[in-house]
Amino acid sequence: MITSQNFAYAKYSPDVKLSRFVICYYVFEAKLNEIKIIQSPPTGYSAFIFNLKDSYEICSGVDNEFTVSPAVALVGQQTKNYQLKLSGHTEQIGIVFKPAAIATLFNFSLKGIVDLRIELEKVIGESSSRLLYDKMKNDSGIEYRLGLLHSFLLEAMDGYEKRLNVADLASDMILKNKGNITIEQLINNLRVSRRYLERKFTEKIGLTPKQYCRIIRMGHISNIVANHEKIDWQDIVFKGGFHDQNHFIKDFKSLNTLSPTRYHKEHTELIRLLNATKKS
């Protein structure tokens, strides 16, 4: 768990039965006396989020204004750095899904949910969404809440095999290679046409395979930049598969809106927090 005077954040691994669909569960809490804006790069993952205390606002990378996030939300794929505006007491528990998981488990396409957050009831129904939310509000125990989500997801797995397709396989390959894989390699490994792969991938995930590779590659690099005090920029350019540093800077700014050096500088607070946590 990462903690500070105002923030607490923890991740929890899923049961082995759910590991093919779920990256992690997470718990986030913030107690603030003033407004705090947090930036986050695209991660390549979608999520279900249950916000159990004060509301908060979101501004995606394609919007100009902050809007109030639904208390119980589906977060689609993000294509640019987005911002959260927090104040008061924020308490969240969430499920972070692998890219094709929501479509496979719930038969719900993310094609129209790119850079959006929508009410979760549109995916799982109003009664199921309300029941989960109310149970979590009524019992604050983390084990109890994780157990609710675990049971909910196990039930959603019923019949998922019929909804598996090439998008599940392709997205797994992209994640395994941290985005450093070409579309030609994907279609050759999967033995499908480019058009078929793009259609199935976009239907499930909302992005083309090429877009998704770029987000995963840059998301991995953004995490390195944000979480390390010293950065070897030449090593990042080389390992990221970029032709040169100018190409790297251009791609980084297109997703994060900041240059790599400025992004690193503005995350020094997080770096100090991580270092303090490691020492404690």
The pLDDT tens digits of the residues spanning 249-276 come to 887 877 777 787 887 777 655 545 444 4
Task: Report whether pLDDT(88) > 80.
Answer: yes
pLDDT 10s digits, 173-185: 999 999 989 999 9
Please report which confidence band the pLDDT of residue 1 belongs to, taking 50, 70 and 90 as the band edges.
low
Supply the pTM of this predicted model.
0.87
- Is the model's pLDDT at 211 over the cut of 60? yes
Domains and CATH numbers, the chain: 2-161 (2.60.120.10), 165-279 (1.10.10.60)
Residue 210: CB atoms within 10 A of its CB come to 14
**Model confidence at 163: pLDDT above 50:** yes
Asked whether the predicted pLDDT for residue 280 surpasses 50, the reply is no
Q: What residue has token string 């939310």?
A: 133
> Would you say 81 and 42 are in contact if contact means Cβ atoms under 8 Å apart?
yes
Top-confidence residue, 220 or 104: 104
For the segment 230-251, what is each residue's pLDDT rounded down to a tens digit?
888 888 888 777 778 888 888 7
pLDDT category, 224, cuts 50, 70, 90? confident
